[in-house]
């Protein structure tokens, strides 16, 4: 892959938030390491999906990428330009090319602005369109793209349904003609029948406008559906990154496996057959992450050596990047999940020896499950 094909490159990105205490003089007593050393590359015209549970730092990563939150360290290169050291005026100009879609369309749209005003604001800021008529034409085209009628212009956000509001949010991002769109939980606030409309819209826009997406979501099925590459985050770091299909058919990191096995699938046959890897306990505090591998406190495969004292780095295994010392041994079935330490519980009906891969592989077994 040449550099020209990579639109965004993130190198060793860190975002640490200080924890302060004290009345008169704030003392910094520690840091929440929301993002702690992430490397990723997003190819032009592709979708990078970022998944993880709440508190894993995925939203902070998205915001730091757009420089909405100042990174503590590392670099963000957008189309060859380093953003972290860019002077504010130039950064502002760059912002036209990278836009964001937010989770909750109600709180991300000003209730006192009508749709025309919401969509014009960005155009005025960036000096696009010479006069009102020109801007109207641009806005009208954006409305068409997202499937909203022209009469929407004079309406206010509360007059729309949730799905339509999200379309307004998308129109606001698209109207500036961006190259990159960071979508933070774009569908999680919507009803299921509406989610599909918005997901399809994002797909269509990508095709017609050649957009590059960073989609941040907790819903693995949605991410799987719209992403080319998926990165899985746990406690501020990527634990696995792979092409979408590969990640779902052959998850290598124990956390990815657990995550995948936990997602309910709307198919009773799949639900009854599959074996669930239940993780013990909750996410540790990002202010005080475990030493060594951050997942070792909950990992069913945790080993007495290396896991607790050596932080694994992302390494290439057959096309995936995985941060696990024992990924190969786990994949081959050489290591079995143990009950020592963190302890994993398994679906009670599975009395047979658990298979190494937790979701049905795309073999005859999966075919019969789909039927």
Q: Would you tell me which residues interact with other proteins (CB under 8 A)? A: 53-54, 161-164, 191-197, 199-200, 203, 218-222, 224-228, 244-245, 248, 258-272, 276, 278-279, 281-283, 345, 347-348, 359-360, 366, 369-370
| Nearest distance from C-beta of residue 195 to other proteins, angstroms | 7
Whole-angstrom CA distances from 54 to 101, 300, 358 are 18, 21, 22
CB 279 within 8 A of CB 258: yes
DSSP assignment letter at 157: G
**Hey, what are 164's tokens?**
């339509």
What span, in angstroms and rounded, lies between the C-alpha atoms of 160 and 175? Answer: 19
| Nearest distance from C-beta of residue 48 to other proteins, angstroms | 13
Is 67 or 261 the residue whose CB approaches other proteins more closely?
A: 261
| Nearest distance from C-beta of residue 297 to other proteins, angstroms | 13
| Nearest distance from C-beta of residue 72 to other proteins, angstroms | 26
| Nearest distance from C-beta of residue 197 to other proteins, angstroms | 4
Is 86 or 347 the residue whose CB approaches other proteins more closely?
A: 347
38: exposed, middle or buried (C-beta count within 10 Å: 0-12, 13-18, 19+)? Answer: buried
Is 288 or 345 the residue whose CB approaches other proteins more closely?
A: 345
Is 10 or 283 the residue whose CB approaches other proteins more closely?
A: 283
290: exposed, middle or buried (C-beta count within 10 Å: 0-12, 13-18, 19+)? Answer: middle
Residue appearing with tokens 């786990």: 330
CB 320 within 8 A of CB 246: yes
Give the DSSP letter string of 23-59.
Answer: SSS-EEEEEEEEEEEEEEEEETT-EEEEE--TTSSHH
| Nearest distance from C-beta of residue 359 to other proteins, angstroms | 7
At residue 73's C-alpha, the angle toward residues 78 and 5, to 5°, is 20
DSSP assignment letter at 308: T
Element (H, E) at 81: strand 81-82
What span, in angstroms and rounded, lies between the C-alpha atoms of 359 and 248? Answer: 8
Q: Is residue 10 helix, strand or coil?
A: strand
What span, in angstroms and rounded, lies between the C-alpha atoms of 259 and 334? Answer: 21
Is 221 or 340 the residue whose CB approaches other proteins more closely?
A: 221
Is 89 or 192 the residue whose CB approaches other proteins more closely?
A: 192
Give the N- to C-terminal CA distance of the chain in Å, as an integer: 39
| Nearest distance from C-beta of residue 310 to other proteins, angstroms | 24
Is 11 or 276 the residue whose CB approaches other proteins more closely?
A: 276
| Nearest distance from C-beta of residue 108 to other proteins, angstroms | 19
Is 95 or 294 the residue whose CB approaches other proteins more closely?
A: 294
């Amino acid at each position: 892959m040449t550099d020209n094909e990579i639109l965004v490159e993130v190198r060793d990105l860190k975002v640490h938030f200080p924890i302060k205490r004290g009345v008169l003089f704030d003392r910094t007593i520690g840091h929440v390491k929301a993002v702690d050393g992430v490397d990723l590359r997003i190819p032009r015209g592709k979708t990078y999906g970022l998944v993880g549970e709440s508190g894993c730092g995925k939203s902070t990563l998205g915001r730091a990428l757009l420089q909405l939150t100042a990174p503590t360290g590392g670099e963000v290169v957008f189309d060859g330009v380093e953003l972290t050291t860019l002077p504010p005026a130039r950064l502002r100009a760059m912002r036209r090319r990278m836009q964001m879609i937010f989770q909750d369309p109600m709180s991300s749209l000003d209730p006192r602005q009508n749709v025309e005003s919401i969509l014009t604001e960005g155009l005025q800021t960036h000096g696009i369109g010479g006069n009102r008529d020109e801007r109207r034409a641009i806005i009208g085209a954006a409305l068409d793209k997202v499937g909203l009628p022209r009469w929407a212009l004079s309406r206010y956000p509360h007059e729309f349904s949730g799905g339509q509001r999200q379309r307004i949010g998308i129109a606001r991002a698209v109207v500036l003609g961006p190259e990159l769109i960071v979508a933070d939980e774009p569908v999680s606030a919507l009803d299921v029948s509406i989610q599909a409309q918005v997901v399809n819209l994002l797909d269509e826009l990508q095709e017609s406008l050649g957009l590059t997406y960073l989609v941040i979501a907790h819903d693995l099925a949605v991410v799987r559906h719209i992403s080319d590459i998926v990165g899985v985050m746990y406690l501020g770091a990527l634990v696995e990154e792979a092409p979408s299909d590969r990640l779902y058919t052959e998850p290598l990191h124990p956390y990815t496996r657990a995550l995948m096995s936990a997602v309910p699938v709307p198919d009773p046959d799949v639900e009854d057959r599959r074996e669930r890897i239940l993780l013990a306990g909750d996410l540790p505090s990002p202010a005080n992450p475990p030493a060594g591998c951050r997942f070792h406190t909950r990992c069913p495969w945790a080993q007495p050596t290396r896991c607790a004292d050596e932080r694994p780095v992302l390494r290439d295994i057959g096309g995936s990047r995985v941060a696990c010392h024992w990924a190969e041994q786990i994949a081959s079935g050489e290591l079995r999940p143990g009950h020592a330490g963190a302890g994993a519980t398994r679906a009670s009906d599975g009395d047979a020896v658990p298979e190494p891969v937790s979701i049905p592989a795309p073999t005859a077994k999966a075919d019969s499950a789909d039927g």
